[in-house]
């Protein structure tokens, strides 16, 4: 029997409770939410960053009668931020040039849809460029642009696709002579609300009806070569919002924390615009110059720190200032005279180092003095960071931060067991922003555990004001981190089970949570823990948190198998992981080969097992 005390006042649910946390991880931007179809459009890939990169990554030669020598060079570039471009030296009759492979299988086209091409080009003598999009020998679109003699200039063309493909190639050909090309770009005309985001991915996010958009990420915001103002040669700069606004050809490419090039095609202006387009509050997170995510190379130079603080104030002016202000004018020039109405700002992401205690007040005090209405979010790192987490929390209390950003990635059991986590939180101190959380795995069971946990967030939403699952997006071919909320390739996307739980909750937010009680037979999730002998493995049981220890104490395998289902198939010599358990499958194989195929009795195997319906044993 379920009894609900409808007359009770209950807890008022935070109107902003459910939002999204966007990070450029797993190619969430380039090859993801950013609708650009061309990979390495500005020829900035370089083996200095990543051994497999070259200036011609994703590009290859395409010769149609003439021959070509393509070379990436930096001599007299388009501008100092855009260091490299492509030089085509074409000889002979006919044309020759290059072909771009796009992301995943190639460039996706939909029959009847319109596509917009643009390029910056330079030729000593005038001459035409022929641009085609091809799928094998089938041409699905053709365009021509006439390059004038002289310096760099931008050219545009468009076409309607005559067929559908997910494996197209963009081919750009030039006549004989030298042609320089940069910012070779192809966009679908149809993007989300016409603002450059891939429509299906943006729609999946919008369908969550998120109340806030935390951006531009976690570790991607606060880890980089730690001089934000290094003048030259720094290819891994920490995320600086000012580098990401203005004309795209003037935004630098940065090699990001997650190990790939980030074009900044989606920059701060686009984040603000996207937040507005999905009806969410923009919630930017900025580093205070301390690092985190395993790195501690703090910014201690006082002059540079002062500049960093000024840049942070300028960001608020960029979002909220009138068009007569310096940064408000830049926002207006980009197309949004009306202020974006920024209310929250995050200071630091998992910046759990002593310098945080010195740097944070410089930023927070300056913001409080100039913009007293902005709510400041401090950060506590991950709960697994133990004493540091507590220290960071105490610091946030002392500093009277408005909210504290907590992060945790735990097993589903933890989520089931910690429904009451916030019941005892201090109601007088800073409020909580659960800025990153997920149970490890993308199965239905994970989603169920999260749903159970989220009832505790709602019940305590007088303290927990904001919460966002993390990470949001993952391209199936460029995975840095699992689990993720939305998976996609170049032309398809779907929500994980956790996505559907988030959507169910965030599109059905009540006003109050009133007390309720349940009487009757509880049917808890069956949870068997402890040592499990080999004979007990059962295909109908899912094993998580598997740890295999040799007699001498060596841990051969210790991991969570819940990602990608993670079932084990038992049987002599057939140990394997089913259903694509990503990195973990390799680890199982390692453990198996280290252990040898014969006698497992010398090894201790511990696991958490969950019976699925009807399982025996
Ligand atoms: O969400 C993935 C990462 O987890 C974030 O970048 C970071 O903040 C956290 O450690």
DSSP assignment of 535-581 equals GG--TTEEEEEEEEE-TTS-EEEEE---TT---B--STT---B-S--
User: Residue 293: what pLDDT?
Assistant: 84
User: Residue 277: what pLDDT?
Assistant: 98
User: What CATH number corresponds to the domain at position 65?
Assistant: 2.60.120.260
**Residue 270 Cβ < 6 Å to ligand 1:** no
Identify the residue whose C-alpha is closest to ligand 1 atom 9. Answer: 218
**Residue 471 Cβ < 6 Å to ligand 1:** yes
Band (443; pLDDT cuts 50, 70, 90): confident
Cα separation values, 119 from 51, 144, 327, 372, 614, Å = 27, 11, 28, 45, 61
User: Residue 445: what pLDDT?
Assistant: 81
In a domain, 459, yes or no: yes
Cα separation values, 135 from 39, 59, 164, 185, 299, Å = 17, 15, 9, 18, 50
Q: Phi/psi zone of residue 436: left (φ > 0), alpha (ψ -120 to 50 degrees), beta?
A: beta
* Among the ranges given (24-28, 37-41, 311-315, 612-616), the one the predictor scored with the smallest mean pLDDT: 612-616
Q: Does the structure show a pLDDT above 80 at 587? A: no
Band (472; pLDDT cuts 50, 70, 90): very high
In a domain, 38, yes or no: no
**Residue 176 Cβ < 6 Å to ligand 1:** no
The answer on 377 and 271 residing in a single domain is yes
Examine the fold and report which residue of 153, 171, 188 is the final residue of a domain before the chain moves on. 188
- Cβ atoms within 10 Å of 203's Cβ, excluding its own: 13
For residue 593, list its beta bridge partners.
none
Greatest CA separation for the chain: 86
Query: Which pLDDT tens digit goes with each residue over 362-418?
Result: 999 999 999 999 999 999 999 988 889 999 999 999 999 999 999 999 988 889 889
**Residue 223 Cβ < 6 Å to ligand 1:** no
- Looking at the CA of residue 481, tell me the nearest atom of ligand 1: 2
Q: Give the Å distance between the CA of 219 and the centre of ligand 1.
A: 6
- Cis amide bond preceding 483, omega within 30: yes
Residue closest to 486 by CA, chosen among 200, 196, 265: 200
User: Residue 522: what pLDDT?
Assistant: 60
Provide the residue range defining the domain that includes 587: 528-611
Structure tokens of 388? 């540091």
Question: Is 519 labeled as catalytic in the residue annotation?
Answer: no
The SS3 assignment for 351 reads coil
Q: Which helix (H) or strand (E) holds 435?
A: strand 431-439
Query: Which pLDDT tens digit goes with each residue over 251-304?
Result: 999 999 999 999 999 999 999 999 999 999 999 999 998 888 878 888 888 999
**Residue 436 Cβ < 6 Å to ligand 1:** yes
Identify the residue whose C-alpha is closest to ligand 1 atom 6. Answer: 218
Identify the residue whose C-alpha is closest to ligand 1 atom 8. Answer: 218
What torsion do the CA atoms of 216, 403, 224, 390 make, to the nearest 10 degrees?
A: -140
**Residue 435 Cβ < 6 Å to ligand 1:** no
Sequence-ordered alpha helix ranges (H) in 494-617: 497-506, 583-595
Phi, psi of 535 (to 5 degrees): -65, -20
Residue closest to 205 by CA, chosen among 506, 509, 480: 506
Sequence-ordered alpha helix ranges (H) in 429-543: 444-459, 497-506
In a domain, 35, yes or no: no
- Cis amide bond preceding 341, omega within 30: no
Task: Report the DSSP pairing between strands 486-488 and 473-475.
Answer: parallel
ipTM of the complex model: 0.99
**Best residue among 481, 483, 484 to mutate for probing ligand 1, ranked by most atoms within 8 Å of CB:** 481
The answer on 198 and 171 residing in a single domain is no
Task: Given the residues 270, 350, 406, 450, select the one marked as catalytic.
Answer: 350
The answer on 389 and 343 residing in a single domain is yes
User: Residue 398: what pLDDT?
Assistant: 98
486 or 292, higher pLDDT: 486
The answer on 374 and 417 residing in a single domain is yes
The answer on 493 and 421 residing in a single domain is yes
Band (231; pLDDT cuts 50, 70, 90): low
- Cis amide bond preceding 471, omega within 30: yes
Q: Give the C-alpha separation, 538 to 612, whole Å.
A: 10
**Residue 484 Cβ < 6 Å to ligand 1:** no
Domain count, the chain: 3
Q: Give the C-alpha separation, 473 to 461, whole Å.
A: 26
User: Residue 98: what pLDDT?
Assistant: 98
Share of the chain above pLDDT 70, in %: 84
Query: Which pLDDT tens digit goes with each residue over 160-206?
Result: 999 999 999 999 999 999 999 999 999 999 999 999 999 999 999 99
In a domain, 48, yes or no: no
Structure tokens of 566? 């993670």
In a domain, 470, yes or no: yes
The answer on 314 and 244 residing in a single domain is yes
User: Residue 392: what pLDDT?
Assistant: 96
**By the 8 A CB rule, do 532 and 609 touch?**
yes
Q: Does the structure show a pLDDT above 90 at 490? A: yes
Would you give the distance in Å from CA 602 to the centre of its chain? 43
The answer on 556 and 497 residing in a single domain is no
Q: Give the Å distance between the CA of 51 and the centre of ligand 1.
A: 25
Examine the fold and report which residue of 500, 518, 536 is the final residue of a domain before the chain moves on. 518
- Integer-rounded Cα Rg, in Å, for the chain is 27
Query: Which pLDDT tens digit goes with each residue over 509-525?
Result: 999 999 988 887 665 44
- Looking at the CA of residue 470, tell me the nearest atom of ligand 1: 1
- Looking at the CA of residue 21, tell me the nearest atom of ligand 1: 1
User: Residue 226: what pLDDT?
Assistant: 67
Examine the fold and report which residue of 172, 188, 204 is the final residue of a domain before the chain moves on. 188
The answer on 510 and 604 residing in a single domain is no
Secondary structure in 3-state letters for 10-69: CEECCCCCECEECCCCCCCCECCCECCCCCCCCCCCCCCCCCCCCCCCCEEEEEEECEEE
The SS3 assignment for 278 reads coil
Q: Does the structure show a pLDDT above 80 at 548? A: no
The answer on 428 and 317 residing in a single domain is yes
The SS3 assignment for 79 reads strand
Q: Give the Å distance between the CA of 445 and the centre of ligand 1.
A: 22
Report the side by side order of strands in the sheet with 555-559. Answer: 528-531, 604-611, 541-549, 555-559
User: Residue 616: what pLDDT?
Assistant: 35
User: Residue 57: what pLDDT?
Assistant: 98
- Looking at the CA of residue 438, tell me the nearest atom of ligand 1: 1
In a domain, 37, yes or no: no
Residues in the chain: 617
User: Residue 549: what pLDDT?
Assistant: 55
Identify the residue whose C-alpha is closest to ligand 1 atom 2. Answer: 471
User: Residue 574: what pLDDT?
Assistant: 27
The answer on 197 and 183 residing in a single domain is no
The SS3 assignment for 398 reads helix
Band (580; pLDDT cuts 50, 70, 90): very low
Q: Give the C-alpha separation, 325 to 317, whole Å.
A: 7
Mean pLDDT of 530-546: 36
> What is the separation, in whole angstroms, between the first and last Cα of the chain?
32
The SS3 assignment for 532 reads coil
- Looking at the CA of residue 293, tell me the nearest atom of ligand 1: 10
**Residue 263 Cβ < 6 Å to ligand 1:** no
The answer on 161 and 236 residing in a single domain is no
The answer on 168 and 207 residing in a single domain is no
Mean of all residue pLDDT scores within the chain: 86
**Residue 285 Cβ < 6 Å to ligand 1:** no
User: What CATH number corresponds to the domain at position 366?
Assistant: 3.20.20.80
In a domain, 47, yes or no: no
Sequence-ordered alpha helix ranges (H) in 207-301: 219-222, 268-277
Query: Which pLDDT tens digit goes with each residue over 93-124?
Result: 999 999 999 999 999 999 999 999 999 999 99
Structure tokens of 170? 């963009």
Q: Give the C-alpha separation, 289 to 237, whole Å.
A: 12
Q: Which helix (H) or strand (E) holds 206?
A: helix 199-206
Structure tokens of 154? 């931008």
Query: Which pLDDT tens digit goes with each residue over 310-368?
Result: 999 999 999 999 999 999 999 999 999 999 999 999 999 999 999 999 999 999 999 99
User: Residue 608: what pLDDT?
Assistant: 46
Identify the residue whose C-alpha is closest to ligand 1 atom 3. Answer: 218
- Looking at the CA of residue 382, tell me the nearest atom of ligand 1: 10
């Amino acid at each position: 029997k379920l009894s609900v005390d409808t007359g009770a006042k209950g807890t008022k649910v935070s109107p902003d409770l459910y939002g999204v946390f966007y990070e450029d991880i797993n190619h969430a931007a380039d090859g993801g939410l950013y609708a650009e179809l061309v990979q390495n459009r500005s020829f900035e890939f370089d083996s200095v960053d990543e051994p497999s990169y070259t200036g011609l990554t994703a590009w290859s030669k395409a010769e149609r009668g003439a021959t070509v020598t393509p070379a990436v060079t930096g001599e007299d570039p388009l501008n100092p931020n855009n260091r490299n471009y492509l030089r085509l030296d074409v000889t002979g009759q006919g044309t020759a040039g290059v072909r771009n492979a796009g992301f995943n299988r190639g460039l996706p086209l939909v029959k009847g849809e319109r596509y917009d091409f643009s390029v910056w080009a330079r030729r000593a003598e005038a001459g035409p460029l022929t641009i085609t999009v091809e799928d094998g020998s089938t041409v699905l679109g053709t365009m021509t642009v006439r390059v004038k003699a002289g310096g760099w200039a931008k050219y545009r063309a468009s076409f309607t696709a005559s067929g559908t493909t997910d494996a197209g190639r963009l081919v750009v050909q030039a006549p004989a002579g030298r042609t320089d090309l940069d910012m070779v770009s192809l966009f679908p005309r149809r993007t989300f609300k016409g603002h450059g985001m891939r429509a299906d991915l943006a729609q999946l996010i919008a369908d969550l009806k998120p109340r806030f958009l935390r951006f531009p990420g976690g570790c991607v915001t606060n880890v980089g070569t730690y001089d934000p103002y290094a003048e030259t040669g720094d290819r891994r700069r920490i995320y600086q919002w000012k580098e990401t606004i203005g004309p795209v050809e003037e935004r630098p490419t940065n090699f990001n924390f997650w190990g790939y090039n980030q074009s900044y095609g989606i920059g701060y202006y686009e984040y603000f615009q996207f937040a507005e387009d999905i009806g969410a509050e923009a919630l930017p997170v900025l580093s205070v110059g301390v690092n985190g995510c395993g790195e501690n190379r703090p910014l201690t130079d006082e002059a540079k720190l002062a500049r960093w603080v000024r840049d942070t104030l300028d960001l608020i002016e960029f979002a909220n200032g009138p068009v007569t202000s310096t940064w408000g004018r830049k926002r207006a020039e980009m197309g949004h005279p009306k202020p974006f109405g920024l209310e929250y700002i995050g200071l630091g992401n998992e910046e759990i180092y002593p310098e945080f205690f010195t740097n944070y007040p410089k930023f927070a005090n300056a913001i409080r003095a100039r913009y007293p209405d902005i709510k400041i979010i401090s950060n506590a790192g991950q709960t697994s960071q133990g004493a540091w987490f507590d220290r960071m929390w105490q610091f946030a209390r002392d500093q009277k931060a408005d909210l504290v950003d907590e992060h945790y990635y735990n097993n589903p059991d933890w989520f089931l067991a910690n429904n009451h986590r916030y019941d005892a939180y201090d109601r007088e101190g800073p409020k909580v922003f659960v800025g990153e959380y997920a149970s490890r795995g993308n199965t239905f069971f994970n989603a169920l555990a999260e749903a159970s946990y989220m009832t505790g967030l709602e019940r305590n939403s007088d303290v927990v004001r904001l919460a966002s699952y993390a990470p949001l997006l993952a391209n199936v071919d460029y995975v840095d981190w699992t689990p993720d909320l939305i998976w996609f390739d170049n032309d398809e996307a779907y929500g994980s089970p956790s996505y559907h739980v988030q959507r169910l909750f965030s599109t059905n937010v009540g006003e109050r949570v009133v007390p309720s009680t349940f009487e009757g037979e509880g049917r808890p999730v069956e949870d068997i823990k402890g040592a499990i002998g080999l004979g007990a493995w059962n295909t109908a049981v899912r094993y998580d948190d598997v740890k295999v220890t040799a007699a001498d104490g060596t841990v051969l395998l210790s991991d969570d198998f819940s990602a990608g289902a993670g079932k084990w198939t038992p049987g002599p010599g057939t140990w394997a992981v089913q259903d694509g358990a990503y990195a973990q499958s390799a680890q199982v194989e390692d453990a198996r080969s280290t252990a040898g195929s014969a006698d497992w009795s010398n090894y201790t195997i511990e696991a958490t097992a969950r019976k699925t319906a009807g399982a025996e044993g």
